[in-house]
Amino acid sequence: MANEFYNHITKFSDLSALDFRGVMAYFEPISLEKKGMLQIEGSVSPQKYFVVSGCLHMFFTDDQGVEKTVFFAMENWWIGDHLNFYKDSPSGFGIQAVETSEVLGISVANMNALLKEFPIMERYFRRVYEVGYGAALMRMKYIYDHSKEEIFIQFRKQFPEFVQRVPQYLLASFLGLTPEYLSKIRGKELS
């Protein structure tokens, strides 16, 4: 489980294999069944998670009781509520496995201790958040630039593996479409 994480770190930051053993001591490996809940909405002390394998989604429940997905993470992505992590206040998001998944979790106390002991990891996290932030802004462009039908078609073209792996109702939620609408688009294509 550790290998994938080490490879990801060394893409961005020079961390020795020896130091990596020290880094790993701050993480908790967690295995999840498909649909297993990693974090419930409103849980205090939310953690951040590195996805070693599988796929998870981050969601909230709206006033009508409908779960809405704001984020997906597959292998080599981080998932977590970055705003509430340091505040130690309840997270506004739940996190659930979409497939059988392996993740590495870290608490705020461990994150602070990790960065103190291994300041070289600042660079790694700087790049992780920079890419994630850039992608989030690009996603806004995506949503504003296309009609709802185009959003799905473009998205499938760009991320075919993603569309194959993720159930349709979650994908619809992520793209801001109703599942009925997505079925209609797909039906139209088949006819």
Residue 14 lies near a second copy (rule: CB under 8 A): no
What does the H/E/C string look like for the chain?
CHHHHHHHHHHHCCCCHHHHHHHHCCCEEEEECCCCEEECCCCCCCCEEEEEECCEEEEEECCCCCEEEEEEECCCCEEECCCCCCCCCCCCCEEEECCCEEEEEECHHHHHHHHHHCCHHHHHHHHHHHHHHHHHHHHHHHHHHCCHHHHHHHHHHHCHHHHHHCCHHHHHHHCCCCHHHHHHHHHHHHC
Q: Is 65 a binder of a second copy (CB under 8 A)?
A: no
Using CB under 8 A, which of the segments 2-10, 23-31, 131-139, 154-162 binds a second copy?
A: 131-139
Q: Which is nearer to a second copy, 28 or 129 (CB)?
A: 129
Nearer to a second copy, 6 or 60 (CB): 60
Q: Which residues from 133-152 bind a second copy, rule CB under 8 A?
A: 133-141, 143-145
In whole angstroms, the minimum distance from the beta carbon of 70 to a second copy comes to 4
Residue 153 in the binding site for a second copy (CB under 8 A): no
Residue 34 or residue 129: which is nearer to a second copy going by CB? 129
Q: Tell me the CA distances in angstroms from 74 to 100, 110, 137, 150, 166, one per residue in order.
A: 11, 23, 19, 24, 10
Which residue from 36, 42, 90, 132 is in contact with a second copy, where contact means CB under 8 A?
132
- We find the least distance from the C-beta atom of residue 164 to a second copy, in angstroms, to be 23
Question: Which positions lie near a second copy, rule CB under 8 A?
Answer: 58, 60, 62-63, 68, 70-71, 81-85, 92-93, 115, 119, 122-123, 125-126, 129-141, 143-145, 176
